[in-house]
Structure 1
Amino acid sequence: MPAPQQVPEQTPARPSVTARLRAAGCVHAEQEAALLQEAADGADLEALLARRVAGERLEDVLGWAGFCGLRLAVAPGVFVPRHRSAALVERAAAHARPGDVLLDVCCGTGALAAAVSARVPGLRVHATDLDPAAVDCARRNLPGAHVVAGDLFAALPAALRGAVDVLLANVPYVPTAHIAHLPPEMREAEDRRALDGGADGLDVLRRLLHEAGGWLGARGRCFVELDESQAPTALAAARTAGLRAAAETDEDEDGDGTTVLVVRR
């Protein structure tokens, strides 16, 4: 499967563009200015800048999102991949072998499957999401993959049962009460279904775990992103579903952690 376009080096930003972005509250103004200048090659920089200053997501203005060194097609309303999800990619790529069946559930843009496929050649990729716009993006980002619209495993072919070697699942895990406190670009610009995980954030995870065992193969592993505080409840949910699981947390240089639930039959 060909990988999406690699991210090239950026050219220096114009001070005037950076200043306007900074005044609009863009935290990474200089980096954004360089990206907008690049995107404006042959287009109208002022029009792109005006869209960003007005509050449109940078990824929607550019038409792509950067993730794990790749440029991935995005669309308004579709969940933008977060850099913290690289922890899922690293673990999945370490487990995967050429020829394995990889399934990306709640795939969004297909970012996780694309990043793992860029590291491990010859994977047989399937992906699914509820949002038709996300499915369209994933099909663009995962050429040759089988991408369908559906709720978790509902739209997948029965032949995949018991055959999945790598199951990636970046399910929504924000507690409903916390949605209002998310940055505006998340809560206003992204499909709420991609964010809202119910009262404790784990409603969709519980549903996933209830079915996952029937889809995993003998050496299959499921990799799910969580908040570290949710790990004890998630581990208990895995046990209830008859699965074995471990929670692994990576801390970045800012002290923020990414917790990955690793599940097997």
Structure 2
Amino acid sequence: MSIPAETAVDQLLTQLAEGRLQVVDLTNKLSADTPTLRLPEPFANLIDFSLESVSEFDDSGPLWRHNNIHTGEHIGTHLDAPRHWISNRDGADVSELPVSRLIGPAHVLDISARAAEDPDFLLEVDDIRAWEAEHGPLREGGWLLVHSGWDQYAQDRDAFLNFSDGASHTPGISAAAAQWLAEETPIAGYGVETVGIDAGNGFALDPPMPAHHHLLGADKYGITSLQNLGSLPPTGALVVVCPLPIVGGTGSPARVLAVVPGGQL
């Protein structure tokens, strides 16, 4: 009896077991304390995440504990689906996203030094082109993940939102760069460590919130509140984005993982 040849999945499992590949969690913890977006009046805000106990080894459930969860779609580490924004109001909901586009090569662009000097820093086309000149072009179905260092504030609501002088001051992307990513690159999605895929002052840009406008309008996805991007190499990692398949959903909290070569952490 012949022994079946080792499959690609077998090779992957072996490399994980031997530490030649490692898994990095890119997800912020989800709780009532998780920092969330705060829109000014008269705009309505989503509810924060909370747990409601249903039973806890008591008369309601003597052998088990379980909870209801209450949350907005765009809370914590979450995915933005195309229909989230007016530029693609009839686009795909979360349940309709092709799963093949939720896994792909990670391209990690580090702006942390510049964001530390200027919290309103905006990524420009030239910054992305300079990254490509060093690391190669953005790949089909890949995710551009921007490491701003903002994950260090992930458990501190005030620092994370950095609100002062009537505005939130967090790094993001310029309108020109958002349009270029949407129209000139083959990426599937764009990920950030901040509360949203746009800068804190994104409403002041033209168009307002250009990452939402251009990327979601072009049927590309956003992922926010990522962690640990600084531990990933610029290229060579695989990102896996796992939102809940909410029918009609404009977004969903998501678990985001990266698979990286061992020894690079």
Give the TM-score of the pair, scaled to structure 1: 0.28
Of Structure 1 and Structure 2, the greater helix share is in 1
Structure having greater relative contact order (Cα 8 Å, sep ≥ 6): 2
Give the TM-score of the pair, scaled to structure 2: 0.28
